[in-house]
Amino acid sequence: AREYVDRIAHSLPFVLVRGNHEEVNGWDYDSTPNNTAVWSSNMLLKYFPPPMPDSFYSGNTISYPDIGLPGNYFAFDVGALRIRALDPFLYSNTRPHNGHGETGGSLNGWDWSLGLDQYNWLNTDLTTYAPTFSMLATHHLTSCYAVPGLYYGRGGVEVVKHSVDGRPSHEWGGEDSTGTFVFGTQRSGFVHGAPHDMLSSLGNQVVIKGHDHFHARQALDGMVYVTMAKPDATEEQTGNLWGWKFGTFYPTQGTLALENSGFYSVVVDDSMATYSYIQTYPAAGEGTVKDMFTVLSSPTSANLDVAPGAAKTWIQTVRPNPSRVPNIQWQLARTGNVRLGIYDAAGRLVQELENGRREAGTHVSRWDGRSRQGSRVASGVYFAKLEADGRLDAVKLVYIR
């Protein structure tokens, strides 16, 4: 998938949240220059430079031998939304899991850890910043569904609170297999409570994670837990494989994981943040909003009653991008007047695609790369702008002649 990063990074920021394929594991890092944690860290710093702490970004200020500042956890604001990213690998000093031909794992879910420095940084950032909207991204939770022999970081809210499904919640929720809260004895010096409780009590609204290869949306203690799909998934895989039981899932039991191929769009305005799961494969369903929820600015709680495909006026996607003939897919919440146009970087109208009354629903408009005068425009960056329903939405597109 790395070859495709170049196709979007020219016009979009690419910020990597570290996962198991990055191979920066605490159990491999031995403070010598010749180990996979050092090699992988340096390659990530070179080819996928992460946000580094400065006046705009908050993050890891601790330098490591043969690595320097790792850039493995960070936070920053995009308008009214604060995004925080965690690393559950570098501070997990004992490998918890077996699998993929490995043996010798501890088979102890408590060996997944954020580490004290990252844990304290998270608390400081949560208490220092009080944004209107707040989301946290992590590859997986520092808890896990104990698939026999694995302990590989799988699971959602079922492994966040023992009361949900009778499972231990390890570091993330702080409970043992009986439901007893043992965080204080398991994590000496971690004085701000279990991460889930810290996030919930200090205003975080959404936790986005990956690793389990399908889409899930769940709710617990005023937060939404979202598990991201695996974009290249074509195999059959459902949440029941790793003990998932509660929430909204794609695919559902007995269906192929093709519906998993997609991405999340987060649109923020003054009153709400709207999270939409948009399918990208198979082609017949490309651009379909499979799931959606909103977080309201007042009160700061998640609205989980929004059905998939709920009414919203916005530009959903431009595809392909870059393209010679881009298709702009847009959604209209209610029937009314619409104006959709292509604009250049100076804000000048290049071509008008829609102007008039349109029915509510999803529409696709195609731009053939021509101006209003009928001539082909130059290759470059343009903007599709939608005006409808008292709203204005715009997205960037790259036209290739």
Residue 99 lies in a domain: yes
Residue 209 contacts residue 225 (beta carbons within 8 Å):
yes
Judgement on whether residues 217 and 362 belong to the same structural domain of the protein = no
d(CA 312, CA 362): 10
Q: Residue 332 belongs to what H/E stretch?
A: strand 327-332
DSSP label at residue 375:
P
pLDDT of residue 269: 81
Judgement on whether residues 152 and 259 belong to the same structural domain of the protein = yes
Judgement on whether residues 194 and 255 belong to the same structural domain of the protein = yes
Residue 222 lies in a domain: yes
Please state the domain count of the chain.
2
pLDDT of residue 91: 96
d(CA 115, CA 90): 8
The first and second tokens of residue 89, run together, are 């690998």
pLDDT of residue 242: 67
d(CA 301, CA 304): 9
Among 296, 331, 366, where does a domain finish? 296
Burial of 323 (0-12, 13-18, 19+ CB in 10 A): middle
Among 85, 81, 157, which Cα is nearest to 114's?
85
Residue 301 lies in a domain: no
Instruction: Give the domain CATH number at 321.
Output: 2.60.40.4070
Residue 304 lies in a domain: no
Instruction: Give the domain CATH number at 274.
Output: 3.60.21
Among 296, 327, 353, where does a domain finish? 296
Q: What is the SS3 assignment for 285?
A: helix
Judgement on whether residues 174 and 227 belong to the same structural domain of the protein = yes
pLDDT of residue 239: 56
pTM assigned to the model? 0.75
What angle is formed at CA 290 by the lines to CA 287 and CA 292, rounded to 5 degrees? 110
First vs last C-alpha separation in the chain: 25
Phi then psi for residue 66, to 5 deg, are 70, 5
The dihedral of CA 378, 379, 383, 384: what is its sign? positive
d(CA 261, CA 249): 13
The first and second tokens of residue 23, run together, are 């191979």
Judgement on whether residues 276 and 367 belong to the same structural domain of the protein = no
Query: Each residue's pLDDT tens digit in the chain (401 positions)?
Result: 567 777 777 778 889 999 988 999 999 998 789 999 999 999 999 988 999 999 999 999 999 999 999 999 999 999 899 999 999 999 999 999 887 677 888 889 999 999 999 999 999 999 999 899 999 999 999 998 876 656 888 889 999 999 888 899 999 999 999 999 999 999 999 999 999 999 999 999 999 999 888 888 888 888 999 998 877 666 655 556 666 777 777 776 555 555 677 888 898 887 788 888 888 777 777 777 788 888 877 543 344 333 344 346 778 678 788 888 888 988 887 788 999 999 987 778 999 999 999 888 888 899 999 999 999 999 988 888 888 877 777 788 889 98
Residue 283 lies in a domain: yes
Judgement on whether residues 248 and 377 belong to the same structural domain of the protein = no
pLDDT of residue 52: 97
Judgement on whether residues 100 and 161 belong to the same structural domain of the protein = yes
Judgement on whether residues 333 and 231 belong to the same structural domain of the protein = no
The first and second tokens of residue 316, run together, are 């959903």
Cβ neighbours, 10 Å, residue 304: 14
Judgement on whether residues 246 and 361 belong to the same structural domain of the protein = no
The string of DSSP letters for 232-264 reads: T--S---GGGGT--SSEEESPTTS-GGGG-EEE
Residue 303 lies in a domain: no
d(CA 156, CA 239): 10
Residue 114 contacts residue 186 (beta carbons within 8 Å):
no
Judgement on whether residues 277 and 379 belong to the same structural domain of the protein = no
pLDDT of residue 258: 59
Residue 50 lies in a domain: yes
Judgement on whether residues 263 and 377 belong to the same structural domain of the protein = no
The first and second tokens of residue 168, run together, are 């231990």
d(CA 89, CA 140): 10
Residue 302 lies in a domain: no
Domain that holds residue 318: 314-399
Judgement on whether residues 394 and 327 belong to the same structural domain of the protein = yes
